[in-house]
Structures are given as structure tokens and as C-alpha cells.
Amino acid sequence: MIRKRIQAPSPSLQASGSPALPSSLQPPASSLSSRRAFSLTELLVVISIIGMLAGISLGALYSARETGRKAKTKATITKLDMIIQAKYAEFFSRRMPIQNRRIPPDAMAELKFRVLQEIMRMEMPDRARDIVFPRREVEPSLALTDAAPVDILAEVKPLASYAANSRSDQYFIDIQGRFSPMKPSFANVSGFQRTALGKRYFRRVVGSSFLTSTNFDSAECLYMIIQADPEAREQFQPGEIGDADEDGFFEFHDGWDRPIMFLRWAPGFAGESDLMSGDGAQDLDPMNPRRIGDLYADAGKWTRPGNDLTFRLVPLIYSGGPDKKYGINSHHGDPSDPGWTVQYGSHDPSYPYETINKVWDTDPAVGGGRIGSPITDAAHDEYDAYHDNITNHSLGMN
């Protein structure tokens, strides 16, 4: 443009200042059109340069926004991580409500472990099913579904007992020290009092829209845990909170305005984690230092093969990252068959010992993998989507 302005007057100067020029040297009429063509080319060049510059600055803007979103996500997850890890650690100094102290040491160890698991489930829920379940005494065959009426939903009853399998006789001991020669059930094994916090979560959830859909129930559980603690609650700004499924239950949101998810026990994430070794021999789980495994009924006898998979678990808090997909096996089930696939706790009298199993087992229904493992089923919508996630297990990354 500048060159054009400088050049433009020169032919007219020549024309007016040099009248001696022969007419053949006068700028021909065609030079006017060539001048126009030249300026048009220039204009196109300029436009393309502007376009390139705009492209570069849009790219820079996009990249700056993504960096900002990542930083925001990390900041929120860092705060959540500190609060949740502190709460998780507190469980290990918790007084256990075991009333009979004269039961054998191995029975005591197992009871403590089972009671602790139940307290953690009640007070640090990561799914709706940690809080409510269908009353089996009302309808034993009922699988809890979205359509389940609220009046057949009950608070999960904490139940814990120890099963001895001595050669001569098999018996069970509950927290009151009651011996039972039979397989435990609600009738012959005492549960223990639900904790105040467990009751509070139940009151908040039962009869509410929380149960009309399990969308983001793990994120909503995380919010509920923080919400219950005024000091923790104060650390978060309105911009870090949202309600993606508009059910009135809030979630913490990442930089892409998607819910930040939560798994209390995520053994499958060990391979991706900076915090979990995955090595049970070197890194004992304080929840289960004796590495107690589940009981199985084998040919009419209870056997406990042990569980050499256990290691120290660290709660997992995760954002889906820029692709907004989580790609993590939460065992919440398919969206069309919502979230009741894992039912922790020993509240099912038919299978009172499967709690530990649930933590460590793989689930073929969601493409295999333990809870917390990356989704490796290529047909799954969130296949391989975990790489860009931002989690509390690798805050130094991404």
C-alpha cells in the first residue's frame, strides 16, 4: 500500500513535468489497467498475509486458551487432591465399632478391615450405589434400575463379619462377637450403626433427582463430600462448579466445563499413576495390611485363596482433558444401562464377602480391566481417550 502511494504520483509527475516526451513515451492507456492489475495482485498478497497473520494469532489464541484451561483444571484438581487424600488418610486412625474384643486376632483383623471398608464406602461414596440399594427383602431379584421406585430403595446397611473355616466346623463372627454356624444373612449377622455422615448423604440423595439418572454420579459424590466440609467448601469459586446434567446436584468442573470424576478405589490406574506402585509385596495397603482375600464357596466349603493383587490404593480424581472424554473404566456401566454395575459393601446377604473382590476384579461388561484402568475396548466410545486426561496421580504431566 505504501509503495503504491509513492509510485502512483510518479507517472503523473513525469507526464506533467516532462512535456518534451514523445507521445510514444507517454504512459499508454494500457498502463493504467496494468497499474490496476498490479495493485489488485498486491491487494491479494496483503489479504493473504493478513489471513496468515490472523491464522497464526488465532492459533496462538487457541493454544493460550488451552494452556489456561489445563492450568485451571490442574489448580482445581490439586485442591481436591489435598482434601480427599487428607480425608482418606484419616480413615486409618478411625476407631472401629467392634464391640467384642475377645474374638481371635485373625478374626479381629478381618473384621476391622471389613468394617473400615464399609465406613469408607459410606463416608467417601463414588457412586449412587454406595448410598442406596434396593431392599432385597422386598424384592430379592430386583436389580436397581433408574425405574426403581424410591420406596424400595434403602440405605446400604453396613454388615461385617468374619468367617472361620476350621476343618471341623465353619462359623462366622460378627462385630458383636456373635458366633453363627450358618452363612451370614441380615437375620444372623449384626450390622453396625451407620455413621452420621453416611446418614447425611443418604438423606440428601434418597427421594431426589440424584436417582433419576446416574449421569456423573461419581462427580456429584465428590462434590457432596467437599460440600459436607465447610473448610473445604470455601476453597472453591463458582467458576469451578457446574451441573452438567442439570439434575440439581453440582459437580466440580474442569477448564472445558466438564465434570471432574472421582474413584475412591482405582487399582486399575496403577500403570498410569505416579502415586500407586501396583506392587502389593512392597507397598502394603494400610486398609488391608494382611492382604485378606475374599471367601469363596468351593464344594460346600468356604475357602479363602487370598488376594496377592492388593497394594496401597490412592483415590483417583480425573478430568477428561481437551478431548472431554474420560476413557477410564469406572464400572459405572453403559450410559444406556446406567451406573449400578458395582455394588460395594456386604449388604447383599447372598454374597456378603465379595467386597474385596469387587475392588480388584476385572469387569468384562465394560471391556475388561479393573476399576480405574484405561478403556481398551476399541468399540467403546471412549477407547484410548485417557492420554490427555488430567489427574491427581500425575499433576506434573501434560
Query: Please, what is the minimum distance in Å from the beta carbon of residue 215 to Ca ion?
Result: 4
DSSP per residue, 280-326:
TTTS--TTSTT-----EEETTEEE----TT------EEEE-TTTT--
Residue span binding Ca ion (CB under 5 A) among the ranges 44-52, 236-244, 302-310, 334-342: 236-244
Q: Which three cell numbers stand for residue 34?
A: 496494468
d(C-alpha 363, C-alpha 253), whole Å: 28
Nearer to Ca ion, 76 or 215 (CB): 215
Rank residues 13 and 379 by Cβ distance to Ca ion and give the closer one. 379
* Binding of Ca ion by 321 (CB under 5 A): yes
Give the whole-angstrom CA distance, residue 247 versus residue 212.
9
Residue 361 is a binding residue for Ca ion (CB under 5 A): no
216 lies in the site for Ca ion, by CB under 5 A = yes
Among positive and negative, which fits the CA dihedral 311, 338, 131, 82?
Answer: positive
In the chain, the amino acid numbered 50 is I
Query: In terms of CB distance, is 59 or 248 closer to Ca ion?
Result: 248
Name which of residues 247 to 276 contact Ca ion (CB under 5 A): 247, 249
Does 320 help bind Ca ion (rule: CB under 5 A)?
Answer: yes
The site for Ca ion, by CB under 5 A, has a size of 13
State the nearest-atom distance from the C-beta of 385 to Ca ion, in Å. Answer: 4
- Which range in 2-10, 296-304, 305-313, 377-385 contacts Ca ion by CB under 5 A? 377-385
Residue from 35, 154, 243, 284 binding Ca ion (CB under 5 A): 243
Is 117 near Ca ion (CB under 5 A)?
A: no
Give the C-alpha distances (Å, rounded to integers) separating 104 from 97, 163, 356, 373.
16, 12, 21, 37
Q: Indicate whether 385 belongs to the interface with Ca ion (CB under 5 A).
A: yes
- Which runs of consecutive H residues, i.e. helices, occur in the chain? 2-7, 9-17, 29-90, 105-123, 196-205, 217-227, 230-233, 355-360
**Closest CB to Ca ion among residues 90, 274:** 274
Which of 66, 388 has the CB closer to Ca ion? 388
Interface with Ca ion, residue 323, by CB under 5 A? yes
Quote the CA–CA distance of 271 and 291 in Å, as a whole number.
20
Q: Which residues contribute to the site for Ca ion (CB under 5 A)? A: 215-216, 243, 245, 247, 249, 320-321, 323, 325, 385, 388-389
